[in-house]
Amino acid sequence: LNLSILSPTSLIVKLDYLHEYINYQPVRLAGTGITRQRVHKFDQVRFLSETFLVGAKGEKLSNFQGRLGYIIANPDKFNCYIILQSENNPLALIAYHTHKNHELNVPIFRVRSGPLEETLARHLIFWFISLSVRENLPFTRITEPYLDHTILSGIQDDAFFKVKDGYLNANLAVAVTATELSDYLTTLANRSQDYNFCLKIADTLKTDKLTTAVKTTLDVERILWPAKIIDADLPTIIIPIQAEWAKELFDEDLANQLLWRSETDLALKRELVYYRSHRSNGGLKPGVVGRILWYVSYNKKYCGTGKVRACSRLDEVVVNKPKNLHQQFRRLGVYELEDLMKLTKNDPNKNLMALRFSDTELFKNPIDLAEIKEILGKRLTLQSPLRIDKEQFTMIYREGTQN
């Protein structure tokens, strides 16, 4: 063993060095070859300012250099990152801070035009919201003054509301009843005039029979993601999935266990499709929307399998022939046509089921099969989709997301 005895001062210096080393190491995005790297050197300012300047909207280079330089000079207040496809190919520049009560604030948010522009912009919007949730902040505010049309389209689809200095989104990490959520939104609205949009949502939650209006309830959950309305009659299905497909579609924790990379465009998408047999479907059929709990089947190659690992919004169920499904969803699924044909035992006229889902939340505490059996009060193997009731969903979801 190579041991050394350090004085208290030397130990503090060593720990500080290790902390800084970890902070500035590149991080893979969603298990892909794209990395997120901390910007911390002043000699990067000119290159990044020139690369991401929005001259078409009248932005002056000196002004942008000043803004970026100030952010980099204050690493205790700001986090600034460059998104890289390779060492010489910067795709995006972002900066955020959390020193305002209740909010994660994004003063710099720029994505270069290119094949990945829209996918990356929407991935980063969701990343900001997810980070805000992890920091236990109920709002995400984007104050970048030169947003391009791709980002604007993305934040509008994500129900950001226009406020005087940018765009604001409520992201509530709660699993409560409709009445409790309405009361919480009213409390938040009283904290700032900018939060008044919460009152409109609170009023919607007071509507008679809201909890039985599936599409309205699901839309409220989408607007306030990751909020869950636990007394809503939303269809909820536990769906088994192999680890190989889970890592490609939504589980970056599994993907990052491997040295090789996930397919970039697919791994960064928030809306995806999973194919399965249309038989033994747990009540899944065209017209059904709701929630999916993903049970990743045990695989000795991966740590953390044999557990319910995530929750997604189920947006659509489609049943059709393999070729038709592949043509309709080829940009949203990891399966090639030959994979779909295997599911039908090479019968081109046999129907398959496609599940279109979005905005997957990975659980902090994946739940193993033994605990799922205990919660459901039954013996099972989870080899096919299983519909559960709202009380069972609440127990599983709270267990998976609690701090």
pLDDT in tens, 60-98: 999 999 999 999 999 999 999 999 987 678 999 999 999
Question: Is residue 64 assigned to a domain?
Answer: yes
Question: Is residue 60 assigned to a domain?
Answer: yes
| Residue-level pLDDT at 198 | 97
- Do 131 and 181 have their domain in common? no
Question: Is residue 403 assigned to a domain?
Answer: no
Q: What kind and span of H or E run contains 11?
A: helix 8-23
Last residue of a domain, one of 127, 154, 170: 170
CA-wise closest residue to 288 among 332, 318, 330, 310: 318
| Residue-level pLDDT at 26 | 45
- Do 309 and 329 have their domain in common? yes
Q: Which of helix, strand or coil describes residue 78?
A: coil
- Do 15 and 147 have their domain in common? yes
Question: Is residue 399 assigned to a domain?
Answer: no
- Do 212 and 320 have their domain in common? no
Question: Is residue 213 assigned to a domain?
Answer: yes
| Burial of residue 65 (number of CB atoms within 10 Å: 0-12, 13-18, 19+) | middle
Question: Is residue 151 assigned to a domain?
Answer: yes
Q: Is the pLDDT of residue 246 over 80?
A: yes
pLDDT in tens, 322-346: 999 999 998 887 788 998 999 899 9
- Do 191 and 110 have their domain in common? no
- The range of the structural domain enclosing residue 325 comes to 236-388
Mean pLDDT (the chain, rounded): 89
**Domain count for the chain:** 3
- Do 311 and 221 have their domain in common? no
For the ranges 56-65, 276-285, 391-400, which has the lowest average pLDDT?
276-285
- Do 65 and 92 have their domain in common? yes
| Burial of residue 60 (number of CB atoms within 10 Å: 0-12, 13-18, 19+) | exposed
Per DSSP, 262 falls in state P
Backbone angles phi and psi of 270, in degrees to 5: -100, -20
- Do 287 and 246 have their domain in common? yes
Q: Is the pLDDT of residue 39 over 50?
A: yes
Read off the pLDDT band of 3 (50, 70, 90).
low
- Do 221 and 245 have their domain in common? no
- Do 44 and 118 have their domain in common? yes
Count of residues making up the chain: 403
- Do 300 and 213 have their domain in common? no
| Residue-level pLDDT at 266 | 62
- Do 240 and 364 have their domain in common? yes
